[in-house]
Amino acid sequence: MPKILEVRAMTDEEQQTIERLSRSRTAPARQVERARIIQWAREGQRAPQIAAQLKLSENTVRNWLKRFNERGLEGLQEKARRGRPATYSPEQISEVIATALTKPDMLGLPFGHWTLDRLEVYLNEEKSLPIKRSRINEILLAEGLRWRKDEHWFGERVDPDFAKKRGSSPPSTPSRPQGASW
């Protein structure tokens, strides 16, 4: 049979905070739940009863009671959790952004604008940064930068001799034959 776990004596401040949190409608749900565990245990309910009311396991209820008894209100806060380590360092991310903001012809490249594919190849080969196209896009979107489609009809042409090579334009509408007017 598990040992009966009781709440330690609380200070007035702890008691007021627990009461306020246990009735709160605006505090995070997990904090309210933990405050209710402490409140109900203080009122004499046992771990199995509390677990049934809150639809938790008895071990979870006992865990929060132990943490509160050991550390007080601080024990009811979430522990920092470790996640997956960052794949790219802040320096590498800033390198991606800086490269994307630099005109390719300034880097001696034979094209006038970046595409995700060109940026990927440049970063992989020239900067030795193994990064995929999709991750480059995520980084740039997170930074507030968006890719535009090629807009050949706006701005300067890449080829300054374009007009000479193209020749004269044909008229857009054929001329009407002159006829009798109404």
pLDDT in tens, 166-181: 777 666 666 666 666 5
Task: Tell me which residue of 155, 119, 114, 148 sits closest to 134, measured CA to CA.
Answer: 119
What does the block give as tokens for 176?
Answer: 């009407």
Q: Is 110 domain-assigned? A: yes
Residues 29, 66, single domain; the answer is: yes
pTM above 0.85, yes or no: no
Task: Tell me the per-residue pLDDT of 95-129, one tens digit each, with 9 for 90 and over.
Answer: 999 999 999 989 999 988 898 999 999 999 999 99
DSSP state of 45: -
pLDDT of residue 157: 55
Residues 72, 16, single domain; the answer is: yes
Of the candidate ranges 7-11, 99-103, 163-167, the one whose mean pLDDT is the lowest:
163-167
Spatial distance between the Cα atoms of 111 and 176, rounded to a whole number of angstroms: 44
Residues 99, 67, single domain; the answer is: no
Write down which residue in 50, 76, 102 finishes a domain: 76
Residues 16, 72, single domain; the answer is: yes
Residue 58 has pLDDT above 60, yes or no: yes
Spatial distance between the Cα atoms of 55 and 17, rounded to a whole number of angstroms: 23
Region of 56 (left: φ > 0; alpha: ψ -120 to 50; beta: rest) is: beta
Number of domains, the chain = 2
Q: What percent of the chain has pLDDT over 90?
A: 54
Q: Which amino acid, 14?
A: E
What does the block give as tokens for 39?
Answer: 């409140």
Q: Is 166 domain-assigned? A: no
**Can you give the residue range of the structural domain that contains 109?**
90-149
Spatial distance between the Cα atoms of 139 and 145, rounded to a whole number of angstroms: 9
